[in-house]
Amino acid sequence: MLFKALLALFAVGILAALLSPLAQLRTGKLDAAGAMTARRHLSLSGLVVAIAVAAVSGFSFAGHAANVIAIALALIAAGVLVLYSFGTLPGVVGIATGLVAGVAWLLALLFCAMSLAFGNSPVTVALGDGMYCSESVYGFVTGDSGEETDLYQRYLIIDHTVYHQIHSDIYPNEPRPERARFASELARCQAGINLVYAAGAHPG
C-alpha cells in the first residue's frame, strides 16, 4: 500500500512538473519574454512525453546509440523542467512539486546510469521478413542478474517490440502468455545468438 502511495505521489509530482509551463501560460500574466520561456519549456515537456510514450508502446530507434541519446535528451529535458517548476509554481506547490519530481528524476538517472554501467550492448540477430531479435545481459553486484530478450519488427530505422521477456537468475519468473505465439521466432533467435556467442561476441 505504501509503495503504491509513493508511486502515485511520484506520478503527481512528475505530471505537475511537465504541466508547469502550460500552467504559466494559462495564467495570462506573463510578459513576452516569460511567455517565450514557458513555450520553450512546454516543448521540453512534449519531448519527454513523446519519448516516454514511445518507450511504453514498444517503439525505439534501430540503433542502440540513438536510443541512448534519446533517453539522455529526455533526462536532460526532465531535469530542466524540475528546476522550472521550482521557480514558477506558487509557493509550497512549487517546492513540493520540485522536490517530488526531483527525487523521481534522480531515481531515473540512477537507474539509467546503473543500466549502462552493469549492462551490455544487445546482441542482435536478423530472423527475416523484417523481424529481429536481441538479447542483452545485465547484472548488478548486489542485486539481480539475467538476460532480456526482445522480438521486434523493423520499419526502416524504427523498431516495434512485439515480445519482451526478462529471465532473472535470482528471482523466479514465468514466461509471458504470448510466448507460445512466438515459439518459432524465439527458437531461431536463441540459435542465432548462440552462434554469435560461439564466434567470440561474449556478453560482458
Q: In this structure, is residue 77 part of a structural domain?
A: yes
Last residue of a domain, one of 59, 89, 118: 118
89 plus 135 within the same structural domain: no
Helix (DSSP H) and strand (DSSP E) numbers for the chain: 5, 5
Domain limits for position 68 = 1-118
The residue with cell 564466434 is 199
Pairing relationship of beta strands 123-128 and 59-61 according to DSSP bridges: unpaired
Per-residue pLDDT of the chain (204 residues; tens, 9 = 90+): 677 788 888 888 899 889 999 988 888 777 888 889 989 999 999 999 999 999 999 999 988 789 889 999 999 999 999 999 887 877 888 888 888 999 999 999 988 887 776 666 788 889 988 899 988 877 665 566 778 889 999 998 899 999 988 877 777 666 666 677 888 888 889 888 888 888 775 544
Q: In this structure, is residue 204 part of a structural domain?
A: no
Per DSSP, which regions of 117-157 are E strands?
123-128, 131-139, 145-155
Q: Quote the pTM value.
A: 0.80
158 plus 99 within the same structural domain: no
